[in-house]
Amino acid sequence: MTDFAIHTAPFSVLVANHSNKLTAALAELYPAELITRPNPQLIYDFCLQVQRKWAGWGRPFHVSSGDQHFRMTDSAQLVPVFEWGVNWCVASYQHQFLAIHAAVLERDGKALIMPAPPGSGKSTLCAVLMQEGWRLLSDEMCLVDLVSGAIVPYVRPVSLKNQSLTLLQSWYPQAQIRQITAGTTKGTVGYMLPSKHSWAGMQQTATAAWVIFPQYNAAQQQLTLSKVSQADAFMHLANNSFNYAVLAEQGFISLSRLTEQIDAYRLEYACIEQALSELNKLC
C-alpha cells in the first residue's frame, strides 16, 4: 500500500493506492514536488481509491471515489484510467469554476481556448503549441473563475492518442512522451509532459483572448479560418461545458463576459504547419 497525494492546483487528490506500478508511473508524469506522502495537516479536495477488490494478483484494479465506482482496469491500463478518474472527480463535483471541455494555452498573459469534441485534433494542436513555446494551462478543462472571469490553469500531462503520438514524436523528437498504453477504450494513449514553464506557472491565471474551434480534416485542401459570431461562440462554449446548466444564472453571466472579451474562429486544417502559422499570425 503506497498512499500518496497529487497537488495539482487548484485541486489536490488523495489516493489510497495498492499499485506500486501506478506510483512509479506517476513519478514519470508529474514533478517530484507535486507527488507527496499524504499530509494530515492538509485538506484534500478529492479522494480516489485504486485497489483490487478481491485479493489476488490476477484481479483487476477498481478505481473509485468512496462508494462511487469509476472504472475497473487491469494493471496495464491503470495509468490512463487513473488520469480519467481524476478528470471524472473534477468534472462531476466541482462547480466553483465554469468548466469547459477545452485545451487552454497562454502567451503574453492572453489565453487561447480550444473547445472541441474528441477526434477534432484539439490535443494534438495543444501539444504542438506548447512545444512552440505557449504555456499550457490545460489540455482537457478550461476553468473560468466565476468572480474575476480569469482563466485558471489546471496543468496535467497532455493526453495524446493513436496517430498523434507518432506524429508529435516525429515533429518534436525532444518531446517527452511517457506511459504509452495500447488497447484502451480510446485506443493507444500516451502522455506528453508539460513544459517547465507550464508547471512553473501552474497557479498563474490568464485573460481569455481567443477561442478557436479546431477541426482536423485530412481531406481539406486549403486551411480555412472563419470568424464565428459571439452568439454562436457562446452556444458552442455552453454545449462544451461540463457544468454550464448547473451554474444557471452565474454560468450565463460568466460565459457572456467571456464571450464579450474574445475573438472566436473556426479552424479547419489538414496540415499542422499551416495551422501553426495561421495561429501565430492571429494571436
Partner 1 sequence: MLSSQLLAFFASPAEFVQQATPQQWTTFLQQARQQGLTARFYYVLQTKQLLDQVPLQVKLHGESGARYAQKQQHSLYAELQQLESLFAVADYPCLLLKGAAYRTQALAVSFGRLFSDIDILVPAAQLRHVRDRLFFYGFREAQMTDYDRDYYLNWSHQNPPLQHYQRGTVIDLHHHIYPTASARTIDITPLFTYAVNVPGSAFKVPASAHLFIHAAVHLFYQEETHKLTKDVIDLNDLLLEVQHQKQLDFMLEQAARMSVQSAVINACWILSKLFKNGAAQAALHSFALPRHQPLVCNLLLTMLQGQPARAWFARQLWFVRGHSLKMRWQVLVYHSLAKPASGMQRWLRRWLPGHKS
Site for partner 1 in 137-196 (CB under 8 A): none
Binders of partner 1 among residues 231 to 270 (CB under 8 A) are 245-248, 250
| Window of 90-98, 130-138, 150-158, 188-196 that interacts with partner 1 by CB under 8 A | 90-98
Element at 64 (helix H, strand E): strand 61-65
Q: How far is the CB of 53 from partner 1 (least distance, A)?
A: 14
For residue 43, state whether it binds partner 1 (rule: CB under 8 A): yes
Exposed (0-12), middle (13-18) or buried (19+): which is 220, by Cβ within 10 Å?
A: middle
Tell me if residue 69 falls in helix, strand or coil: strand
Q: Residues 12-41: x/- map of binding to partner 1 (CB under 8 A)? A: --x-------------------------xx
- Pairing status of strand 141-145 against strand 151-152: antiparallel
> For partner 1, which is the closer residue by CB, 182 or 246?
246
Yes or no: say if 44 and 13 are a contact pair by the CB < 8 Å rule: yes
Pairing verdict, β 68-73 and 110-115: unpaired
Among 32, 37, 56, 66, binds partner 1 (CB under 8 A): 66
User: Distance (Å, rounded) from C-alpha 27 to C-alpha 46?
Assistant: 19
**Distance of alpha carbon 236 from alpha carbon 233, whole angstroms:** 5
Name the one range near partner 1 by CB under 8 A: 94-102, 148-156, 172-180, 188-196. 94-102
Residues that bind partner 1 (CB under 8 A): 14, 40-47, 65-68, 93-96, 245-248, 250
